[in-house]
Amino acid sequence: GQQVMQIPQYQHVQEGEDFTTYCNSSTTLSNIQWYKQRPGGHPVFLIQLVKSGEVKKQKRLTFQFGEAKKNSSLHITATQTTDVGTYFCAVNSGGSNYKLTFGKGTLLTVNP
Amino acid sequence: GAGVSQTPSNKVTEKGKYVELRCDPISGHTALYWYRQSLGQGPEFLIYFQGTGAADDSGLPNDRFFAVRPEGSVSTLKIQRTERGDSAVYLCASSLADRDHPWYFGPGTRLTVT
């Protein structure tokens, strides 16, 4: 089945530093979604990328979809303690959007 | 409006017992998904409903697991003869349709089998 690798597994930063997590697939993706899960919480949808080379921004968060639609990144500028949590990418390479395969996530901790 | 709700929030049961986990999706959402998340892992697909029918149940681990959605709204995940390996957080999500719409996850049910 569809597999996706997410790196790094953990990232600890000082407040104000930038953070990036990467999601890589061996196959071409139809779309990719990103989720944030706070400690003890549930995944919360952040964004979906569909087009090759797409770049979307949400305040300090920048999401990119690779030109070949096999990788994606999430970049946070000037992290804040509220950014703490695990960031997951979720992919589906087929024609339907169900049965998303989630990466293992990147746990971000921020030192104030 | 109200989000996806799941009950119970926590369930502790003995090995071999039967449990039911309930999911109330967002009103009007036709697509409903069950996922399972173990500690330190991403959610793993169990089953997907489009309306009342299970469109894909290929993620159910074995025949001890079964899910229903009789009226196309509330769904129940049923686990027979629970095993310690079933311990995990069971997540439900819903969306307006199966493409190009965000998914909304519920808070999950933490199942512990002793």
Chain segment B1-43, per-residue pLDDT in tens: 589 999 999 999 999 999 999 999 999 999 999 999 999 899 9
Q: What percent of chain B has pLDDT over 90?
A: 81
What is the predicted pLDDT for the residue at B99?
62
Q: How far is CA A25 from the centre of its chain?
A: 13
**What does the pLDDT average to over B60-64?**
96
AA letter at B60: L
What is the predicted pLDDT for the residue at B24?
97
What is the predicted pLDDT for the residue at A92?
77
Q: What is the largest CA-CA distance in chain A?
A: 43
Per the CB < 8 Å rule, is B59 touching A100? no
Q: For residue A90, what is the enclosing H or E element?
A: strand A85-92
Size of interface A-B (CB pairs under 8 A): 58
End-to-end CA distance of chain A: 40
DSSP string, chain B: ----EEE-SEEEE-TT--EEEEEEPPTT--EEEEEEE-TTS--EEEEEEETTEEEE-TT--STTEEEE-TTSS-EEEEESS--GGG-EEEEEEEESSSSSS--EE---EEEEE-
Q: Is A7 on the interface with B (CB under 8 A)?
A: no
pLDDT band of residue A99 (cuts 50, 70, 90) is confident
What is the predicted pLDDT for the residue at B102?
83
**Contacting residues of B for A103, CB less than 8 Å apart:** 42
Nearest to B42 among A44, A96, A104 (CB): A104
DSSP state of A61: E
What is the predicted pLDDT for the residue at B40?
87
Per the CB < 8 Å rule, is A88 touching B40? no
φ, ψ (nearest 5 deg) of residue A99 = 55, 50
Q: What percent of chain A has pLDDT over 70?
A: 93
When the pLDDT of each residue in chain B is averaged and rounded to a whole number, the result is: 93
Pairing mode, strands B104-105 and B88-95 = antiparallel
Is residue A2 packed enough to be buried (19+ CB in 10 Å), middle (13-18) or exposed (0-12)?
middle
Residue A96 pLDDT > 60 = no
